[in-house]
Amino acid sequence: MHHALHIKNGIVIDPKNGVKAEKMDIFVKNGKIVEESELKGEDVKVIDATNKLVVAGGVDMHAHIAGSKMNTGRTMRPEEMRVVRNIANKFRAAIGRVLLTSPAIGYEYTKMGYTSVFEAAQPPIGALHTHEELDAIPMLDKAALPVFGNWHFVLKYVAEKEMEKLKAFIAWAIERTKGFGVKVVNPGGVEAWMYGGNVSSLDDQVPGFNVTPREIILSLIQATEELKLNHSVHLHCNRLGVPGNYETTIESIRLASKFSNDARQVLHVTHVQFNSYAGDSWRTVASGAEEIAKTVNAMDNVTIDMGQPIFGHATAMTGDAPFQFTLHRLTGSRWSNKDSEVEGGAGIVPIAYLPKNPVHALQWAIGMELGLLTDSDKVVLTTDYPNGGPFTEYPYIMAMLMSRKMREGELEKVSPFVQKASNLPAIDVEKTLEEVIHMTRSLPARILGLPNKGHLGIGADADIAIYDLDPLNVDTSNDFEKIYKTFKTAVYTIKDGIIVAKDGNLVEEYWGKTYWVDATGRVDLEAIKADLEDYFRYYSVELQNYGVEESWLKKPERIVI
Amino acid sequence: MIIIKPKAEFVVTVEAELTPDLAEKDIEEVKKFKVYYGKDLVELGELFEVVREGDDKKLVLEGDFSKVKWIGCRMAEGEIVVKGSVGANCGAYMAGGRIVIEGDADDWLGAEMKDGEITVMGNAGNLVGCAYYGNATGMNGGKITIEGNAGNYIGEKMAGGEIEIKGNAGDFIGTEMKGGVIKIHGSCGFVGGDMKAGEIRIGGDFELMPTFVKGEDGWSGDMNVKGEGVVKKL
Ligand SMILES: [Zn+2]
């Protein structure tokens, strides 16, 4: 039910609009934040937020919440399905330990005060399935990033230096998949995996194509910038999970220096924790986070997200198929490999992060180092769910970023390897509440290019979270237990002006929007017509049948650029 | 002691984690114990008659419990006597105490149990003492005795404890077994596939994988996984 809302006496933190813990009232009408005067004569529901924290709903810009790899993971891990989180009543049954079912994903994010979540890797041929699953996730606004970095069309156009055709292809593919932007996973490496290999540097030749990872990344950034897509290239770097990879990561980040954009970054590098290892083997591995943070801080057009591991169960699933094979060999755990035509691949391996395992403890420390040492305006809080662990532990990361004391306590529980292989024990940075709110709301919204998200200014979407925390009377360094507990359960979660959860209980089932970006008006689709027809002659799906029609989506929100 | 009797015949299964701990509760509290009847969450008292007799930590289940799952799940002490048959998952994750079933037991009897004792006077189904799908280790302690016959996949991934079957059993006995003892007095089908350790003793006929090596008084394997399990005649 749409009500006009008057959120009274809350303490608002709204980094985008420069509001730093100010007592103020927020007004909502028709799903938007409005001026008080707009509410005259309305039937207004008043929410008393006295001494409570009022912020925008959380925005998760990188999680895996839908698509074939999620379902394969669920099939592979029956043990994940034994935890019952919510039994029917008027809502749908929700189960899962870390690998949740679709309704559980919507409900658990909502209880925590998150309102938008982006699926970060959509294999294009699986787009319909991905959208059907996204449509099964209640409450949240969603979108999906199709993967481009190993698609034969991309490799071909990059090799031929056909920039206009590359742009036309990207616009065509995003429209066909109802996608949001350009995701790149281990560019060239997944194609090499089709021949049993991988790439080992930005300058390796991709088998069968006269291109290198460097050329793929540069061309995709250029195409994305010229198309003026909302979001920049979203890069999962080469050599993920390999000791010594931090140098490749830094090299990749520096590729952005050739480009500029006033509105946002030109490159977002994701789950950087997995790409921040120094050393040359698992025996000599150490943190390369400080160097990476320095590089990011020195550039004005790159952002990153943490990919923070959480101790306990997780499930590694990524479009980086060769990495997943390596992980399977390393852990001896179950492994599933996926291949999606000429578009990319994926792998899945169950994993548990153990505090006493030196490598796991180091990964945990590196995630924190990245979060602490990178400017708060350039690093987003993520676990790369379910790769680093459950999104339900975001409050743990929030509390850790704000409290050195908490980190000291946690450091005592983990492998002493961390003491010599990382700088975490020496870092005394404590992020402020405002910085952490920025890292979970306004920053990811800006990085995604969604001006109505992540803030509480007039005209913003009325996605609001209210927490039982008085920011004017909390000592975030010492009250870390309170911080953790508070952010686990919002007192109110409001989506598009509708109260969907209160005190951890779901109040109303609501269906959020699916954003997709239509850039086809900016390109000449005729330029790639012959190539498409030629390719699809050998495809398992006919060109006419390829992709997702807008009318098949539950609540599509088309962004025309 | 608490005596529990079904009030009527169940149309769908009941999921009721009934343990002897209930005998220490007030009778009204016992009646309010939550169980699932199909997809509905209901109170124990709606489906069963509940009577108290004496103070010992014991449950007596009278009547047909063959559609009631999870009896004795995670129990650590006390006793359950079933004067009839039980449904699946009876004694799952059990850590101590005793369950006596006068009738038959369904599948997953004593799955992943750690300690304690289960006796079945009749027959048991499949997957006795095994691991739930996706888990690495089945039963690793305690003892399960079946007076009658049992089905397939007995003791899969079992790591400790003992399963004794007085009658016959089906196929795939002790698959991926890592420890403990399985005794079958009668005959059974294939035994020991991917067995790593532990012992299987059989009185009657059985079939063995070709990946077992004959020794002085039995066979060892499964060579396929460099296993050191032992299969011998009872
Ligand atoms: Zn990811």
Q: Which of A78, A88, A93 comes nearest B134 by C-beta? A: A78
Average pLDDT over residues A284-294: 98
Across B136-196, the runs of DSSP E, i.e. the strands, are: 140-146, 160-165, 178-184, 190-191
Which phi and psi (to 5°) does residue B230 adopt?
-125, 130
Specify the pTM: 0.92
Which residue's structure tokens are 């007995």? B154
The crossing angle, in degrees rounded to 10, of helices A289-298 and A358-373 is 20
| pLDDT of A80 strictly over 70 | yes
**Which residue in chain B is spatially nearest to A92 when comparing CA positions?**
B39
Positive or negative torsion for Cα A169, A174, A180, A186 = negative
**Smallest Cα distance from A345 to chain B, Å:** 24
- Judged against a pLDDT cut of 70, whether residue A89 lies above it is answered with no
Token pair for A135: 């449509």
Candidates B37, B108, B130, B133: best to mutate against A (most CBs of A within 10 A) is: B133
Backbone angles phi, psi at A179, to 5 degrees: -95, 180
pLDDT in tens, B23-59: 999 999 999 999 999 988 899 999 999 999 989 999 9
- Residue bearing tokens 């789950």: A271
pLDDT average, residue stretch A353-357: 97
The answer, yes or no, to whether residue A1 has pLDDT greater than 60, is: no
Q: Which residues of A touch B39 (CB under 8 A)?
A: 87-88, 93
**Residue type at A191 in one-letter notation:** E
B133–A78 CB contact, under 8 Å: yes
**Which residues in chain A are closer than 8 Å to B135, comparing Cβ atoms?**
79
Banded model confidence at residue B229, pLDDT cuts 50, 70, 90: very high
Share of chain B residues as helix, strand and coil, in percent rounded to the nearest 5 = 5, 35, 55
Question: Which residue from A348, A319, A318 is spatially nearest to A331, judged by alpha carbons?
Answer: A348
Please, how many CA atoms are within 13 Å of residue A479, restricted to the half-sphere of its CB?
Answer: 14
Q: List chain B residues with CB under 8 Å of A78.
A: 132-134
The predicted-structure confidence for A118-175, as pLDDT tens digits, reads as follows 999 999 999 999 999 999 999 999 999 999 999 999 999 999 999 999 999 999 999 9
CB atoms A79 and B39 under 8 Å: no
Mean pLDDT, range A458-462, rounded to an integer:
98
Distance CA B26, CA B5 (A): 17
Give the pLDDT band (50/70/90) at residue A93. confident
Please tell me the predicted confidence (pLDDT) of residue A410.
Answer: 98
How far A533 CA lies from chain B's nearest CA (Å)? 44
User: What average pLDDT does this structure show over A224-247?
Assistant: 97
The CA angle A96-A100-A106, to the nearest 5 degrees, is 125
Task: From chain A, pick out residues whose CB is under 8 angstroms from the CB of B111.
Answer: none
- End-to-end distance of chain B based on CA atoms, in angstroms? 39
Task: Please give the average per-residue pLDDT across B154-180, as a whole number.
Answer: 97
CA dist A155 and A401 (Å) reads: 40
8-state DSSP, B132: P
Q: What is the mean pLDDT of residues A96-113?
A: 96
The DSSP annotation for B136-148 comes to S---EEEEEEESS
Task: For residue A258, count CB atoms less than 10 angstroms from its CB and return exposed for 0-12, middle for 13-18, buried for 19 or more.
Answer: exposed
Q: Roughly how many angstroms between the first and final C-alpha of chain A, as a whole number?
A: 32
Q: Which residue of B has its CA nearest to A73?
A: B134
Q: The complex's ipTM?
A: 0.78
